[in-house]
Chain A
Amino acid sequence: MIISARGLRKDFTVSRKVGRFRRERHVVSAVDGVDLTVERGELLGYIGPNGAGKSTTLKMLTGVLTPSAGEVTVCGLEPVAKRTTLARRIGVVFGQRSQLWWDLPLEDSFALLRHIYRVPEADHAARLKQCSDLLGLDEFRRTPVRQLSLGQRMRGELTAALLHGPEVLFLDEPTIGLDVLSKQAVRSFLGEVDRRGDTTVVLTTHDLADIEKLCRRLVVIDHGRVVHDGTLDELHARYRSRRTIVADLDSPWPEGLTLPGAVVTAVEADARRITLALDGMTAGEVVAALAQAVSLRDLSVQEPNIEDVVAKLYRDES
């Protein structure tokens, strides 16, 4: 167990203006009793709506914020008390902050980090080569960071966070604002980090495609509490997300027609396109029944949508 948090809380005191001079203070719990354990080598998706407490949790795990209550250890260390020791063993990327030296070429930042983290030259070179191959850094490693595009900079940030060979990598919205290609590059890179298995990754994101492609385990937090901890499939099962069949028909769908094991959820395009949600039967059985009932032109089977199920979860909790 490389990360362990029990009853983790963070309260902020907020003062609000009441009348002309008076201020009323009240306590807001950004994180309200989070229990979390992460095993070595896991890639954990940590998601939640804006203001749910994701970044606050991450700050407590990295030692830049003291918990109001609860116990937390990362790599066996108490983060705040051992922040500088822990810094050598973790890597952090905040999607909206930069840890690179703005005015210097990217490779100068990398060289500086080697000295700051006292990484042996051979290790540094090997890790840099690995990252460089996977992320295609060569074309812009001599460019000053201030001239990099967001996608290039994020590739640089990921590399910078990994050069000292951290045991845990914390990523706070690493794909925010990136174009499709950069997102894919970041995702396939993280997939590769995960496959190698020596780095534990905690990933917060609003892009659920990141989660779908990368994370076996998903922790959802809302109002400072964990509302789901498990696989994506378990989340779908909990909300009874169903696969759907979309069929284009030669003639309009006969009104009132029902099929066993499926529910009609939409009838569109002059009743020539129908959507059926599977309900207890396999896709094959439903398609066979459908083909007997009507004349089919085209057909597709769709997996349950992660956005929908997560939206349901967020709505339920609010």
Chain B
Amino acid sequence: MARVQAALVAAGFRRYATYRQATFAGAFTNTVFGFLRCYILLSVAATAGGVMAGYTGPQLASYVWLGQGLLAVVNSWTMLDLAERVRTGDVVADLLRPVDPLWTYLWTDLGRAVYAVLTRFLAPLVVGAVAFGLYVPQSLLTYPLFALSTLLAIVVCFACRYLIGLTAFWLLDIRGVMMFWVFVSGAASGLYFPLAILPDWLATVLWVATPFPSLLQAPLDVIVERGGTGHALLVCLGQVVWTVLLLLACRVAQASAVRKLVVQGG
């Protein structure tokens, strides 16, 4: 990694590492909700004879607890500074740098994600492992695939949030878009329930036509080895496609946003 990128990742990391109380409060909340979700899903599975939509008890526990941690890692509920900077006009400073703001924001967000992995991800993971016992992957290949899938999930989520931030160039106030995103991304990414409990056709539409499952369901299915290594590779491939498509969309939308700003003034 070149030095600019490394410096930006480090800056993103340090930026979030400043707020220790917020980190602690966030990890605590995620953990409390982890208990709630885990008890509910396990009781649903128990009434269904121990297996729910193909997930066994330990797989469900892993799905819940790793999901609670990954939520903070992909950070889908928190918007980037971009929209606020567009609203206040500070975005001009971003445009006056010799680097593309898209990449600056991406590298900084990756730094944030590294910090989240070390804190917000590990805390619920440990609690879940102690309190419920988690699913232990059978294949060693699962671990690197999970790491890859998580990285892709972070980038996909970043690109979605960047696109939402860019809408500020037209809307100025992005609260409406954001509320829509929080609702849809929560339901369709597998945060509230595993997408496998949905009717087949709906789950297929979500997986094929939307980036939402790439945010959480994808890495979670990889780590609980749903469908084996072949399936995991397919899931990662799908994420790669969404990563490329969404980053391209960011480029196009940004070019048009900047054109609008530069031509019409802001």
Contact = CB atoms under 8 A, between A and B. Distances in A.
A297 interface: no
Interface extent on A, as a size class?
20 to 34
A112 B11 contact: yes
B96 interface: yes
B14 A64 contact: no
Interface string B8-20: 1001001100110
A122 B15 CA distance: 26
Interface in B85-125: 88-90, 92-93, 95-100, 104
Interface residues of B, number: 27
Interface in A114-162: 115-118, 144
Interface in B15-41: 15, 18-19
Contacts of B97: 84, 87, 116
A97 B7 contact: no
A89 to B, nearest CB: 9
Contacts of A80: 262
A115 B15 contact: no
Interface string A84-121: 11011010101001110101100010011001111000
Given A97-B89, A97-B92, A116 B14 contact: no
Contact of A144 (B18, B98, B100): B18
B88 to A, nearest CB: 8
A272 B6 CA distance: 73
B78 interface: no
A87 B98 contact: yes
Interface of B: 3-4, 6-8, 11, 14-15, 18-19, 88-90, 92-93, 95-100, 104, 261-265
25 contacts: A56-B265, A65-B262, A65-B265, A80-B262, A85-B98, A88-B98, A92-B96, A94-B93, A97-B93, A98-B93, A99-B96, A103-B15, A103-B18, A103-B19, A104-B14, A104-B15, A104-B18, A108-B14, A111-B7, A112-B11, A115-B3, A116-B99, A117-B98, A118-B4, A144-B18
